[in-house]
Every structure is written in structure tokens, then in C-alpha cells.
Structure 1
Amino acid sequence: MGRFSVLTLTDAAAARVNEIMASRDGALGIRVGVKKGGCAGMEYTIDLVTEPKAGDDSVEKNGAKVYIAPEAVLFLLGTQMDFEVTTLRTGFVFNNPNQTSACGCGESVELTAASPESLRQMQGAA
């Protein structure tokens, strides 16, 4: 059985992560997580990584490294991370199958942890 990725990166997201890594001395990548907050209940977090933490999962694409906080794995399972530039907003976008709703401003989301069945399906596909 192969190893599956908790999340995937688009080319645009990988390019932006590489830009961030190149602009900061000692940067090894970024860490994606979730925390309680906002009107919908949870918010995505993104932090610079200069030293990986024990238990971090990671994905890599085109040299870009994204670490996933262990407490966020079940909330991010199956997520595609993208980077978009629009007239109103520039930033990372998470296309997350575990997201059940979002607040009107888009700053917070409601997430449900992935089911054991989802995990089995991803393991079988790897």
C-alpha cells in the first residue's frame, strides 16, 4: 500500500510557497493548520517553517514544501491548496471536501473531520 498525501498543491500554490521560501532566510516551507475562530467556527492557519515539528506530515511539489499540523490532518484530508490573485483578494485558497459551510466574509469555515471511510478510500487509492 502506498503513501497518500493529506493535501495536494496546485502549480500556483507551489510557486507561491517557493517564493515565500526564497524570500525568508532559513525557511524550509510553510505549515498549514486549523484553529477555532471566526463566525463559522474554524480558520485556516499558515505559518513559516524554519524547523519542522514532531508529528508534522508534509507534502512537496516542485520544491515547495508544505507541512501539515498533526491536529489538522483529519480536517484537511483530501484538500487541494491553490493560490489565487483576484481583484478583491490575493491568497491561498483551500478546496476542502470536509468544509460544510463558510461565513459570508470568507475568513472562517465550518469543517467536519474526515470519516474513517474517507481515510480507507484514500489509502486504497495510494
Structure 2
Amino acid sequence: MIQISDSAAGRIKELLEAEDTPNLFLRLGVRPGGCSGFSYSMGFDDEEHSEDKILTVNGLKVVVEESSAHYLEGVEIDFKEEGLSGGFTIDNPNAIASCGCGSSFKMKDEEGQVENCDH
């Protein structure tokens, strides 16, 4: 369902260790909004809900809300360092359009027009 590259998994593990909070895991989701219709949410959480899907991806516990699961099918998360900066990238094979900022997208089965990105 979801793929996390070795570099992204390594960086996520470093960030989890720095939090020094037991039982933290990576939570992924999709929210309405953003320049193209939907935006990704990615962060740490320590509370599971009954509607969550629990996965193990590249040695990480990953939790996805059931309502976001079909939007994230086949998603690939990577971490790239470029010069003095770096960041996570999300490649979604289901998206037909994405914003130049890379944090919002439009799905094949969703109606509406792609808007201009203000980022």
C-alpha cells in the first residue's frame, strides 16, 4: 500500500528517537484543502482509533485513517537532502495534478478544477 524509502525511514526513526516519547508512530492522512483539492498530513501520534489501519513499512509503525487509505494507495515517501536543506517528498501515482509546492494534489476520481498555487 505505502512505500517508505530507506532514507525516509532512517530520517523518521531519527525524529522519533529525538521525541523521547514512548509508543509514538507515524500517522499519514489526507485532508480536503490545499491548492489542488487535497493535502497530505504526516506527523507523529501515540493514540490509535478504531477506524485506523495499522501497517509496518520499512521497520516503521504507520497508521492511516480508513477514510484516507484509498488516497494513499501506492504512495511512495522519500527523504532527499539538497545542499543545506532537505525534506520529505510524496509521490502519489493516483494524483492527476499536484501543486508546485508538492503538498497538495487532485485525484483522478474527484471533480473540480485545479487551482493556482499561492506558495
Gaps of 5+ in 2: 110-119
Q: CA deviation at 1:90?
A: 2.4
1:55 is matched with: 51
Coordinate RMSD, CA, aligned: 2.0
| Distance of aligned partners of 1:105 and 1:47 in 2 relative to their CA distance in 1, 3 Å threshold | closer
More helix by share: 1
Structure 1, residues 55-83: CA drift from partner, whole Å, max 9, x if none? Answer: 22233245322211211110111111111
The separation in 1 between residues aligned to 2:14 and 2:46, in whole angstroms, is 15
Match of 2:11 among 16, 32, 54: 16
TM-score normalised by structure 1 residue count: 0.73
| Distance of aligned partners of 1:86 and 1:63 in 2 relative to their CA distance in 1, 3 Å threshold | same
TM-score normalised by structure 2 residue count: 0.77
| Distance of aligned partners of 1:27 and 1:7 in 2 relative to their CA distance in 1, 3 Å threshold | same
Gaps of 5+ in 1: 1-5, 114-126
1:86 is matched with: 82
Q: What fraction of aligned residue pairs are identical, expressed as a percent?
A: 32
Q: Tell me which stretches of 4 or more aligned residues in structure 1 moved more than 3 Å.
A: none
